Each structure stands twice: as structure tokens, then as C-alpha cells.
Amino acid sequence: MKLHRFDDASQFYERVKDYLLSQEALHSLLLGICNTLIHNPQFYDCQPYLATVEMDGKIVAVAMRTPPRRLILSKIEDFAAVEAFAQDLHSHHEQLPGVSGLAAEALAFAQAWQAIANQSYKLEMQLRIHQLNKVQPIPSSSGDLRLASEDDYLLLVDWYKAFAIEAFGFVEGNEERKVKHYLSQRSLYLWQDQVPVSMALSRVLTPNSGSIGPVYTPPEYRRKGYATSCVAALSQTLLDQGCRSCFLFTDLANPTSNHIYKTIGYERVGDWNDYCFT
């Protein structure tokens, strides 16, 4: 078993793409980060951590980190790789705020990191990964989906901050840059019912797949079906653009979102957990 680190995102992706694409839904977050690192590296401030663990020339695990964010793990074929990643990060004096990954993988790393770095861990968020291949017909709310524009910039920044506080309990501080980037990529959409009432981000990950999220509806516009209609229409837009599948994450603490996405046609493919280190 051998750990390999990569300094070049393109070389890293060439090495890991077959492994990640073999289970696109489970690896949608990693694929999205690879895409950004290759095509828009200025989006991140620091050099990323990109690594594989291989056995007999075959990848058994992939890890990525874009500081100051958490470490992100792929599906792991041999859990001895968890120890290898933890030892490597600790030997390079990496300060980790946490780890994200499939439930078993994330917990295994959190336990390994606690043993090596003497940092305790806490389960911060339980998420579920969903996949859609066909949009199911649903009653549509009043309004229409539209591409967000520069005129929506200030509104979108406010909504991104509100989403961050609601989802994570804090504002990252880079919402302005995020919104500018996503507007330039034509990735942000709004559901408009005379005024904007819901927001969703879409990204094409590979020629075969796209992802949706975050999705945010201000409190005053909730329980009117706007988010459901927004996600359904945006999912269909991605399929019409050539994607075979769409992926999204839901918070298991929010049963409403898990239910409404199921009615659209999203099905569970895996559970994903976020741990923080203290």
C-alpha cells in the first residue's frame, strides 16, 4: 500500500477519474472540486491536498482538501488507507477542521485522526446523497425558472449568507466571490413568481452528470412549493443539456426536503457525514 500526493490538479484528475466515475453519485462532490481546480483554480486561496492510496497499482482511496475546509474522502476499498491519509496529513503538520465522507469512511478517519492528532471529533451534519435519472411530473407552483443575472447579485449574496447561517451556523466570508463566480459560469438559477422566491445552484460535473445545490428559499416564501418547482425545473434543464443523471445532497435533519426531492424522482444512493475536530 502506497500513498501518492499530487501538486497538479489535472494530473491528479487523470489518475483518479476512472475510480471516481465508477460511482459518480457517491463522488459528485469530489468531481465538482476537481472540475473547479482544473478550470477555475483561482476560486481557492491555498494549495489543495490531493492524494491517493494505491495497492498493486490500483487506487483504493482518494482524499482531497481545499484549505481551510475539511478533508473529503472518496469511497474507500481498503480501510487501511484511512490510517495512511491520517499519518501523512499529521506528518505535514496539517491543521484539519474536520472530515467529510460516506458514513463509514468519515467515522473511520475521525477515529484515526483522534488517535494520531489527539483531537476529539463530533458529528456535525448527517447528509444523504440522491440521484435522479428522470423528473417525475408534479404540480408546479406559480412562477418560472430563470437564469440569475448580474442584477440579482446583491440578493444572491444575501441569500447565500442566510443559507450558510441556517445550514452551518456561520458565514464563511467568501459569499461575494462565490456569487460572482457562479454568475460568470451561468450556474445560478432563480424561481421567479413576480419576484425571486427561491435559489438553486447547478453544476455540470461530467459529460454524463450534473449536481444541484445549495437550494435556498427565504422563510417568507416557504411552504408554497417554490423549492420543489425550482429543483424539478432545474433538474430537467440539466437532463435537457445532456446529463443522464442529477445529484444532490439533503440534510437528514430536514425531513421536508428529503420528502419533496423524492417526489421529483430523486432516490437515495448513500449517506454522507460531516465531522468537526476540536
C-alpha cell at 206: 461530467
**What pLDDT shows up at residue 70?**
95
**What pLDDT shows up at residue 272?**
98
Alpha helices in 201-254 (DSSP H): 226-240
Nearest to 6 by CA among 71, 75, 64: 64
SS3 content of the chain, % helix, strand, coil (to 5): 40, 30, 30
**What pLDDT shows up at residue 60?**
99
**What pLDDT shows up at residue 140?**
87
DSSP secondary structure of 96-136: --EEEEEHHHHHHHHHHHHHHH---EEEEEEEEEEEESSPP
Output the pTM of the full model.
Answer: 0.92
Q: How many angstroms separate the first and last alpha carbons of the chain?
A: 30
**What pLDDT shows up at residue 174?**
82
| Whole-number Å distance between alpha carbons of 232 and 254 | 18
What pairing do the DSSP bridges indicate for beta strands 121-132 and 209-216?
A: unpaired
* Domains, in order of start, for the chain: 2-119 (3.40.630), 132-271 (3.40.630.30)
Render each residue's pLDDT in the chain as its tens digit; 278 residues.
999 999 999 999 999 999 999 999 999 999 999 999 999 888 888 899 999 999 999 999 999 999 989 999 999 999 999 999 999 999 988 889 999 999 999 999 999 999 999 999 999 999 999 999 999 999 989 999 999 999 999 999 999 999 999 888 888 778 899 999 999 999 999 999 999 999 999 998 888 999 999 999 999 999 999 999 999 999 999 999 999 999 999 999 988 888 889 999 999 999 999 999 99
What 3-state class would DSSP assign to 228? helix
- 186 within 8 A of 150, measured Cβ to Cβ: no
**What pLDDT shows up at residue 168?**
80
